[in-house]
Amino acid sequence: MSFVMPVLNERDYLRRAVETVLAQDVPGPTELILALGPSTDGTSALARELARDDDRIVLIDNPAADIPIGLNLAIGAGRYPTVVRVDAHSELDPSYARSALTTLERVRAANVGGVMRADGRTPFQRAVARAYNSPIGLGGGAYHGGTQEGEAESAYLGVMRRAVLDEVGLFDESIRRGEDWELNLRIRRAGYRVWFDPTLAVTYWPRESWTRLVRQFSATGRWRGELVRRFGRGNSLRFFAPPALVLTILLGLVVGVLQLTGVLQGWWAMAASAVYLPVIAYAVLIIGVAAGRGGGHGWRDKLWTVAVLPTMHLAWGWGFLLGVIGGAHDTVDTSRLGSRNTPLP
């Protein structure tokens, strides 16, 4: 079994992520291939230290830093018939890979994934994790808290048959975000199953700051817009909710200006005020989610939830609109890039 992990500026998370991979209880040999991007925080030095301590760790260079390129390099270097995508921000239960292999064989799938169980260490990160785990936060995709096993649109990370990857092609290196969704689309169109198993769960540590969250979701939204340009109706309708919210808010601002300046008056002003209703309903929903049960460790978690949910939706939705209109081009997720002025090994 070949575990593949693209890595860039993950010194705070890498050791634990690697430890949980190496602790997997699976039959047969395993390897962990780290595709090292040009980190600036000492991640590569840590990776070399870990590799010296365990010969199952293989290091390869990924100078482009792009995730799909790193994944393809790692898969190409792998030796085993099952490929497990893992993330430096993730932690696996010791039985994860064994259980996924069992499901892979039981349902004769090409790719199996489970639940992304986000967690946090600070009030902000816990608020982001809560948004990830909520159907309100990321649109209700199965791997964000689904409970029903079955065929799926995509798989979080994924335990994949190498033979199928060789048949349909690896990750599309022209897609910098959403590359897993596009690969699973090709797998499904080739007649293979992508399967969701809710008994599988991966702990995921989200971004630690507001600015990084904005950059991440803006880039992800823009690439989703690009995927809509490329694949049209192959995209789920849930992807259109955030841009609809952005457009509704923009329309509300326009109506507000026209009312304040007297351009809209009388009956027309009253009718146009209907545009405020979905915005008010959205605000009430966000406050209700933040104040509800499971709101975190205290009032700071709840306040951050009120800020985090609209941040995710609006950044993603605005990015989506830009992607649909102009494409993604060379947009990258800069949320994990460090300062390149003071490079570290």
15-54 tens-digit pLDDT: 999 999 999 999 899 999 999 999 999 999 999 999 999 9
Range 164-180 average pLDDT:
95
Find the mean pLDDT for residues 239-245. 94
CA 39, 144, 17, 33 torsion: positive or negative? negative
Question: What pTM does this model have?
Answer: 0.89
- The mean pLDDT of the chain is 91
CATH number where 72 lies: 3.90.550.10
pLDDT digits (tens, 9 = 90+) for 191-216: 999 999 999 999 999 999 999 999 99
Residues 119 and 158 in one domain: yes
Give the pLDDT mean for 235-262.
Answer: 94
pLDDT of residue 141: 62
Please name the residues in contact with 329: beta carbons below 8 A apart, sequence gap of 6 or more.
none
C-alpha to C-alpha distance for 153 and 247, rounded to whole angstroms: 27
Q: Helix H segments across the chain?
A: 11-22, 43-53, 67-77, 96-107, 123-133, 135-138, 162-168, 179-189, 210-231, 241-260, 266-272, 276-291, 299-326
Helix (H/G/I), strand (E/B), else coil: 111: strand
Same structural domain, 168 and 275: no
Asked whether the CA dihedral 293, 297, 299, 301 is positive or negative, the reply is negative
Based on the fold, state whether residues 63 and 114 are members of the same structural domain: yes
Considering the domain architecture, whether residues 184 and 278 belong to the same structural domain is answered as no
- Based on the fold, state whether residues 22 and 92 are members of the same structural domain: yes
Residues near 108 by beta carbon (within 8 Å), at least 6 away in sequence: 193
Whether residue 122 sits in one domain with residue 27:
yes
What is the predicted pLDDT for the residue at 340?
Answer: 38
176 lies in the same domain as 321: no
Domain end position, chosen among 156, 172, 206: 206
Question: Do residues 168 and 262 share a domain?
Answer: no
Please tell me whether residues 195 and 235 are part of one structural domain. Answer: no
- 149 plus 198 within the same structural domain: yes
Structure confidence by residue, pLDDT tens digits, 112-142: 999 999 999 999 999 999 998 888 887 666 6
The stretch 137-161 carries a mean pLDDT of 82
**Does 242 share its domain with 307?**
yes
Domain boundary among 171, 206, 241: 206
Average pLDDT over residues 60-82: 95
- 48 and 155 within one domain: yes
Give me the domain span that covers residue 123. Answer: 2-206
335 inside domain? no
> Is 344 part of a structural domain of the chain?
no
How many structural domains does the chain have? 2
